[in-house]
Amino acid sequence: MTRRNGIADIEGWEIRWAKPIGATKVLERQRCINEAVAKSNLYKLEQSHIKYTPMKKSNGKNIVDMNANNIFDIASIHITALQNFIKEKFNATCSFNCLRAENESRFMCKIFIVKQGHVLFEYHGESMPTKQNAIIRACSKMYQFIATTYQNFVERENEHYSMEQKLSINPVVGSPVIWNKRIDYN
């Protein structure tokens, strides 16, 4: 190693020779190495635990599929299902607006179905104790209404349907929602 043109000389290593150490120093050195390795492994374990822990996104109802062990947010499943249904049925888009009710402990969800800048349907959901419940109930009601009312529906090119609640009804206090149908021709 220390010969001329040896590995140390080629690599540019500097080699220093130390005097031999006693048995107590060897044990002390090994103990320090073991402690450092243990701390390093603990740190890596904590890092990996934090890195792979799934974070909860909301206070939504989560469901675990026992076969795939996937966690789903039920409210987002309802929203996606309604959006796909509306896209298929009317070639329109849905927008959702979840608001706190007057007493601030309940929620209601408003659903707008829009096609080419025209509001086809507007639904003010019922007052519910949680945001997720308000979304789920509003999506379910809207789906049921459209599925039953427009079962064999084929929209003509310039035909638009609008559904709104009567002005005298306040959905925040839980009054029943009554629908009016109007036909608008462009």
Question: What is the pLDDT, as a whole number, of residue 167?
Answer: 43
Cα separation values, 147 from 31, 60, 142, Å: 73, 26, 8
Given the structure tokens 């409210």, which residue do they identify? Answer: 75
**Residue reference for tokens 């499943």:** 77
pLDDT for residue 174? 46
At residue 83, the pLDDT reads 92
Please report the pLDDT score of residue 101 as a whole number.
Answer: 74
**C-beta neighbour count of 93 within 10 angstroms:** 14
Q: Residues in the chain with pLDDT < 70?
A: 1-2, 40-72, 103, 153-186
Predicted pLDDT of residue 82: 92
Longest Cα–Cα distance in the chain: 101
